[in-house]
């Protein structure tokens, strides 16, 4: 079909390869090369269409955006035209990023403005959630790990997107990468233009963005980089609940979105999202890098800090209380310390110093376990020993196979920091489980269902994961050295920074997996291995 771009055409649909519209007589071949086939959507200032470039071999698809302001008042036309030109300049500047559509052409024809950009084939996040349901915590972490570096890049180019939302994020079908589209609302600098006599400029006369996704300062026409952080946080709530902002309640006193009772995620992720969604821009994360640092921090600082409070006797309690309450406050609130790399280092240093001093006061051995708990000479009274045992760190807690499986059947999904080495969990149902920083060395997980599970920073050396369902699993910084992954389903798994030295990936399905060639070069593959691009063969 050839589609007519005349906004007033009564019947824009025409037969293929027509030269002129049968209804209005307009030329159908734009700039003697672009043939529009169907409309894709329309916003406040532009309509988008799918087209084919007949001047290139194979007539590849492209997207054409036509300037179509919603009103014809002079100031509206001025703003629409400036925004349209700004989008073209922005795409020209940042469109070389693999997660941003490339600008292919920009021109004016018959007093109409057109922008031609790369066509991204795939489903939007909004379509994905409607079709497949909400994401788990691991899925949201994977999404953030994909989009935050892109947002950091955009901000480094001094660009504020101003319209981040599920409908503007497409998972490209070719490689499953997340692509951010619709740069029609971008702002190229943080400082506002000088106001005219009416107190507003053409570009700031209207709040630009999507209500509910745009934070208060953006709706007040004062967007900053942190405004995109807020919109990304709202997007995460949608991914976890499938509810749009208009479907959620708001605190009438503070204006804050009330979402925490609707999600089932760790305290750590809750804290990160809470800070992303702070209505006060001063208290929000100021950059994408800040959010990334907060996510990369040990998610269980609170439980780690509590495990350090080993009680021995009254004297030990007094010494412990003298170590400084500030470090405990920092540890219990990871969202308050994600602002800078220095802050992260200070928290880590505080934990180490606290552990060392407590160990010294309690007479601990190098492993941080009191002699009383081990029955060594110098044992303290049994009551203190029991207290120490009940407050052991979750990081060292050992579970057997039956206990773990029983807990899972009862609804438990959090086994982070646990010692699960050498367990036999063959064929188990353990999907959407949190194994972050757990020890799973030589554990038998052959044929297990581990779909959407979180193995971030976990140790899986020599683990048996043969034929396991690991689709959409999260392995960021995991150690998979020597692991058996033959025949495993790793489709769309997040393997960034994972150690794959000696891992056996023969026959594994890596379709859409986030993994680098350098990582794969360290693993074992064969002609049955399915590459990330979906093709079978040696890598």
User: Where in the sequence numbering do the catalytic residues fall?
Assistant: 163
Tokens 């998610």 correspond to what residue? Answer: 299
Closest of 424, 429, 459, 456 to residue 441, by C-alpha: 459
* Phi, psi for residue 119 in degrees, rounded to 5: -85, 125
Asked whether the CA dihedral 480, 481, 483, 486 is positive or negative, the reply is positive
Torsion of CA 471, 473, 478, 483, to 10 degrees: -30
d(CA 408, CA 117): 48
CB contact at 8 A, 69 and 77: yes
Instruction: Determine the Cα–Cα distance for residues 126 and 124; give it in Å rounded to an integer.
Output: 5
Q: Would the annotation count 319 as a binding residue? A: no
CA dist 298 and 147 (Å) reads 21
Q: In what order do the strands lie in the sheet with 122-124?
A: 122-124, 169-172, 178-180
Tokens 């303290």 belong to 380
Rounded distance between C-alpha atoms, residue 134 and residue 129, angstroms: 6
How far is C-alpha 49 from the chain's CA centre?
Answer: 29
- Closest Cα partner for 276 from 268, 267, 285? 285
Whether residue 226 contacts residue 214, with contact meaning beta carbons closer than 8 Å, is answered with: no
Nearest to 79 by CA among 5, 164, 187: 187
Structure tokens that stand for 210 in this block = 């999507």
Q: Characterize 432-445 residue by residue with b for buried, 16 or more Cβ atoms within 10 angstroms of its Cβ, and e for exposed.
A: bbbbbbbbbbebbb
Annotated binding site: 65
Annotated binding site for ATP: 65
């Amino acid at each position: 079909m050839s589609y007519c771009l005349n906004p007033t055409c009564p019947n824009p649909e025409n037969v293929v390869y027509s030269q002129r519209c049968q209804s209005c007589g307009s030329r159908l071949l734009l700039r003697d090369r672009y043939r529009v086939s169907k409309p894709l959507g329309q916003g406040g200032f532009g309509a988008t269409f799918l087209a084919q470039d007949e001047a290139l071999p194979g007539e590849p698809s492209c997207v054409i955006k036509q300037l179509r302001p919603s009103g014809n008042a002079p100031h509206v036309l001025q703003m629409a035209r400036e925004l349209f030109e700004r989008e073209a300049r922005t795409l020209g500047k940042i469109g070389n990023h693999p997660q941003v559509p490339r600008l292919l052409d920009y021109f004016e024809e018959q007093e109409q403005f057109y922008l031609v950009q790369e066509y991204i084939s795939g489903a939007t996040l909004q379509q994905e959630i409607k079709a497949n349901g909400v994401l788990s915590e691991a899925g949201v972490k994977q999404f953030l790990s994909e989009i935050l570096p892109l947002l950091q890049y955009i901000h480094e180019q001094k660009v504020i997107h101003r319209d981040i939302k599920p409908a503007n994020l497409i998972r490209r079908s070719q490689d499953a990468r997340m692509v951010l589209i619709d740069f029609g609302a971008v702002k190229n600098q943080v400082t506002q233009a000088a106001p005219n006599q009416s107190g507003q400029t053409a570009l700031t006369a209207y709040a630009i963005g999507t209500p509910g996704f745009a934070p208060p300062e953006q709706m007040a026409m004062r967007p900053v980089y942190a405004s995109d952080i807020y919109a990304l946080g709202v997007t995460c709530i949608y991914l976890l609940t499938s509810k749009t902002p208009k479907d959620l309640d708001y605190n009438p006193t503070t204006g804050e979105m009330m979402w925490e009772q609707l999600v089932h995620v760790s305290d750590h992720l809750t804290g990160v999202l809470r800070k992303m969604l702070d209505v006060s821009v001063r208290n929000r994360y100021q950059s994408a890098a800040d959010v990334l640092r907060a996510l990369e921090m040990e998610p269980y600082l609170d439980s780690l800090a509590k495990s350090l409070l080993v009680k021995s006797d009254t004297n030990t309690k007094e010494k412990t209380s003298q170590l400084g309450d500030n470090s405990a406050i920092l540890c219990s609130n990871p969202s308050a310390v994600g602002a800078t790399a220095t802050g992260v280092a200070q928290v880590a240093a505080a934990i180490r110093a606290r552990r060392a001093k407590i160990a010294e006061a309690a007479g601990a051995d190098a492993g941080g376990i009191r002699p009383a708990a081990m029955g060594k000479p110098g044992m303290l009274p049994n009551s203190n020993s029991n207290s120490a045992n009940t407050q052991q760190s979750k990081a060292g807690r050992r579970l057997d196979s039956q206990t773990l499986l029983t807990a899972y059947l009862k609804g438990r999904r959090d086994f982070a920091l646990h010692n699960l080495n050498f367990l036999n969990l063959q064929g188990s149902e353990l999907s959407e489980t949190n194994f972050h920083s757990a020890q799973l060395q030589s554990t038998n997980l052959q044929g297990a269902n581990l779909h959407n599970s979180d193995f971030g920073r976990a140790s899986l050396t020599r683990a048996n994961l043969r034929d396991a369902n690991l689709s959409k699993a999260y392995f960021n910084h995991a150690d998979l050295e020597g692991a058996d992954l033959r025949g495993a389903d790793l489709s769309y798994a997040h393997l960034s920074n994972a150690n794959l030295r000696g891992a056996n990936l023969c026959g594994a399905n890596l379709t859409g997996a986030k993994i680098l060639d350098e990582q794969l070069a360290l693993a074992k593959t064969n002609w049955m291995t399915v590459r990330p691009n979906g093709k079978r063969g040696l890598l």
